[in-house]
Structure 1
Amino acid sequence: MTETLRPAAPLSSPPPAPLLAVDRAAAELRRGGPVVVLAPDQAPLLIQSVEGVTGDSLERLVHLSGQPLALCLTARRTRLIGLDPGPGVVAALTSDLPLTADRMLRLADPGTAEDMGGVGRIDDLSVVPLLAGTVADAGVQLAKLARLLPGIVTTPVACAETVRSWASSRNLLVVEAAAVLGYAQTAARSLRLVGEARVPLVEAENTRILAFRPADGGIEHLAIVIGTPDPEQPVLARLHSECFTGDLLGSLRCDCGDQLRGAIDAIHQAGSGVLLYLAQEGRGIGLVNKLRAYRLQDAGYDTMDANGQLGFDDDERVYLPAAEMLRLLGYSRIRLMTNNPFKVDALSRHGVQVEERVPHVFETNTHNLSYLRTKALKGGHLF
């Protein structure tokens, strides 16, 4: 019998304003523009992504604010360049010497530092630790959401009028720190089904693909449903983060392509199940940053140290979207195909009952052996 496809849910209300504000601010950072980040009881900051800095853009920031500039990096990156961020999650770096665009890039980007002879002197730099939840923390998180390096140039906004009026008169976007820090959770909880179709696959002909989009129109996550899973029974499931190089090109640097096709085949052999294809490339750092990490791996860093050199955590992924998709599909109990116990814990925290961890292991090759060894020794993966 041909299954009737469900219609996409209509838009019932406009997207939440905070989501749109974060989207617009992230887009502005990506094109090299400045934005204002504010929060109650904190000094607002005018920020720009360190990737977009030029001599002219720094002059514009100083002209707009009339205040000194600082470079804000994650605590992890700060330690790696030889400075102590103290208890902060972010560190603000200042100097009595000019913080030029070239110098900021050397400090923030290990790839650029390698090309330009290292980070250079650091003895003139002063470090101010900044805690989680501060405006600077939100600014760095905004750069991550924009899939840029986690580094920003900041300058305080001091004006006699309201910050929003000051920003509006200068054509600057404003975003609240709370909206940035809560974006991932808010976007995940707003996911809705926007499209569905039958897509016969080589490994599994009886397959449907369902697309789930957040309310702000962000990137879709996909559910690949094979067969007809019984929601009254534990559903065989796999969470798979997209990997352009492995899934599409067959890269030998990782095992992602093998895991993707192997999961589809295993679910088909089991009779039914679901694979969630999550838009979280490179453990959540994005494709461009993943390529930067690959270059660092070629220079001798392992996969997790390379992410750290760029200023990212070992794993930047968020698993609430997966939990929400399972909920929308009607699956509350699953048998999870994974080698990563953290995924089991993360889904459990979001209300998904993981009744069994199903091992998901494939043969290594000379190119991914070190990568898989690092995941086992440092990431706790079970092989």
Structure 2
Amino acid sequence: MPESRTLFGPSLQTDLVKVERAIAEFRAGRPVLLRDGERLALALSAELADADLAHSFDTLAQGRGHLVLSAARLRRLGAKGRLETGIFALPTIDTDRIETLALKIDGRMDAPVAPASALDEASLELSRLSLVLPAVILVPVSVEAVAGEPLVEVEVAAVNGYRAEQAATLKVVGRAPVPLEGAPDTEFVVFRGGEGLRDQVAIIVGKPDLAAAVPVRLHSACLTGDLFGSLKCDCGDQLRETVQWMAENGGGILLYLDQEGRGNGISNKMRAYKLQSQGWDTYDADEVLGFDLDQRHFDFAATMLKQLGVSSVVALTNNPQKIGAIEAAGLEVAATQRVLGRPNAHNVRYLASKRDRAGHFIDMDALMARAAPTD
């Protein structure tokens, strides 16, 4: 039988393209068809499911649907023991029950939790890539049941391997000098890829010596702190003071990474902020939403540094996870240096939480001394 041909050939059939299309569909609140060998399932964001979709899913499910939740959300629901991703059976696609289990602050378990399959795990990864809440309605289906439906189909392995493939395909798409206040000799280098469908930026301050250990900061984007000067975090201080320090000390590279809200996205960050305003700790607020301590990945950041010619770094960070990620990617961390922000009444609890719960190297005494008024 002759091979079927299309206008654009195999270029639109790569795993990378299929996952990117799946992300767009999932983020828009439309179902995606996941495949694991001969097993098929429709995945739909629990956050975005409307009544019409729920009815269609109920018709297809015939009592075999289930709700996939992260270990963090299961802890908040009261599940005990060592937790991984788990599922709740859905005899019917009951949107009120799904909302209670997946979204409500006071939600509690109402049935036993079953272990997750490869399809379930991939559906949660798809939700994370799509920057929606990690809660998915999954319905096993047959080929016949969805024949003729305009669905994007993607393999489990492609979803799980997407981040690594994105990191491997990073490329520079633009660069230009951008003089900054206090750092006039600065160049911006834009990379395509790394996290989902976003671009990443390297800011080269001055003329760092690439043959030596280069001062480097991995800085995750923070709209509220970096741009608007939010008092809830120390991000804006860290960003501006790092650039100033590099300008005054022989140069360096700051990677500005599109990882808002510790990788959860701006919408989920605002949900967490609302919970914090009601008294929740920053990490407890994320856990209520289904997120663990930190969803960020830094392998693509190391790829950016390698493409810029960096092999050894002085890591300007308080975060041990960043140091470990740089080393795991094959770069030398010759030294580390703390990056202090300014404590205030709005962020002191946040800073203490980062120290106590995520192991950040933060000396609160030194911070408070820095904030103390001088004569």
Q: Same fold (TM over 0.5)?
A: yes
- The aligned counterpart of 1:17 is 14
1: CA distance, partners of 2:191 / 2:11: 17
- The aligned counterpart of 1:104 is 98
- The aligned counterpart of 1:135 is 119
- The aligned counterpart of 1:29 is 26
Instruction: Choose from 180, 189, 196 the match for 2:159.
Output: 180
How far apart are residue 292 of structure 1 and its match? 0.7
2: CA distance, partners of 1:17 / 1:249: 40
3-state SS in 2 of match to 1:224: strand
Aligned 1:1-383 pairs, distance under 5 A: 17-40=14-37, 43-84=39-80, 89-96=84-91, 98-109=92-103, 113-114=104-105, 118-119=106-107, 122-123=109-110, 125-130=111-116, 134-159=118-143, 167=146, 169-214=148-193, 218-383=197-362
* TM-score, normalization by structure 1: 0.87
Are 1:55 and 1:100, in contact at CA under 8 Å, matched by a contact in 2?
Answer: no
3-state SS in 2 of match to 1:194: strand
How far apart are residue 102 of structure 1 and its match? 2.3
1: CA distance, partners of 2:125 / 2:196: 19
Code of the residue aligned with 1:135 in structure 2: it is: L
Code of the residue aligned with 1:119 in structure 2: it is: G
3-state SS in 2 of match to 1:26: helix
Number of equivalent positions: 353
Task: Give the 3 Å change call, closer, same or farther, for CA 71–216 of structure 1 in structure 2.
Answer: closer
Task: Give the 3 Å change call, closer, same or farther, for CA 217–243 of structure 1 in structure 2.
Answer: closer
Task: Give the 3 Å change call, closer, same or farther, for CA 168–240 of structure 1 in structure 2.
Answer: farther
How far apart are residue 180 of structure 1 and its match? 1.0
Code of the residue aligned with 1:25 in structure 2: it is: A
Code of the residue aligned with 1:338 in structure 2: it is: T
How far apart are residue 68 of structure 1 and its match? 2.6
Are 1:15 and 1:216, in contact at CA under 8 Å, matched by a contact in 2?
Answer: no
Are 1:236 and 1:335, in contact at CA under 8 Å, matched by a contact in 2?
Answer: yes
- Listed as ranges, the gaps of 5+ residues in structure 1 are 1-12
Task: Give the 3 Å change call, closer, same or farther, for CA 142–77 of structure 1 in structure 2.
Answer: same
2: CA distance, partners of 1:59 / 1:303: 36
Are 2:163 and 2:195, in contact at CA under 8 Å, matched by a contact in 1?
Answer: no
**RMSD, aligned α-carbons:** 2.0
* TM-score, normalization by structure 2: 0.89
3-state SS in 1 of match to 2:261: helix
How far apart are residue 99 of structure 1 and its match? 4.4
Code of the residue aligned with 2:314 in structure 1: it is: R
Are 1:19 and 1:216, in contact at CA under 8 Å, matched by a contact in 2?
Answer: no
| Identity score, percent | 39
3-state SS in 1 of match to 2:112: strand
3-state SS in 2 of match to 1:237: strand
Moved more, 226-235 or 192-201: 226-235
Task: Give the 3 Å change call, closer, same or farther, for CA 170–87 of structure 1 in structure 2.
Answer: farther
Code of the residue aligned with 2:260 in structure 1: it is: E
Task: Give the 3 Å change call, closer, same or farther, for CA 200–353 of structure 1 in structure 2.
Answer: same
How far apart are residue 87 of structure 1 and its match? 5.7
Code of the residue aligned with 1:292 in structure 2: it is: R
How far apart are residue 327 of structure 1 and its match? 0.3
1: CA distance, partners of 2:335 / 2:43: 46
Task: Give the 3 Å change call, closer, same or farther, for CA 349–206 of structure 1 in structure 2.
Answer: same
1: CA distance, partners of 2:113 / 2:292: 20
Are 2:31 and 2:42, in contact at CA under 8 Å, matched by a contact in 1?
Answer: yes
How far apart are residue 40 of structure 1 and its match? 2.2
How far apart are residue 92 of structure 1 and its match? 1.1
Code of the residue aligned with 1:129 in structure 2: it is: P
How far apart are residue 67 of structure 1 and its match? 4.9
Code of the residue aligned with 1:236 in structure 2: it is: P
Are 2:74 and 2:83, in contact at CA under 8 Å, matched by a contact in 1?
Answer: no
Are 1:167 and 1:174, in contact at CA under 8 Å, matched by a contact in 2?
Answer: no
How far apart are residue 65 of structure 1 and its match? 4.7
1: CA distance, partners of 2:102 / 2:61: 23
How far apart are residue 14 of structure 1 and its match? 5.3
Are 2:129 and 2:196, in contact at CA under 8 Å, matched by a contact in 1?
Answer: no
3-state SS in 2 of match to 1:106: helix
2: CA distance, partners of 1:382 / 1:119: 34
2: CA distance, partners of 1:76 / 1:215: 25
Are 2:178 and 2:186, in contact at CA under 8 Å, matched by a contact in 1?
Answer: yes
Are 2:172 and 2:189, in contact at CA under 8 Å, matched by a contact in 1?
Answer: yes
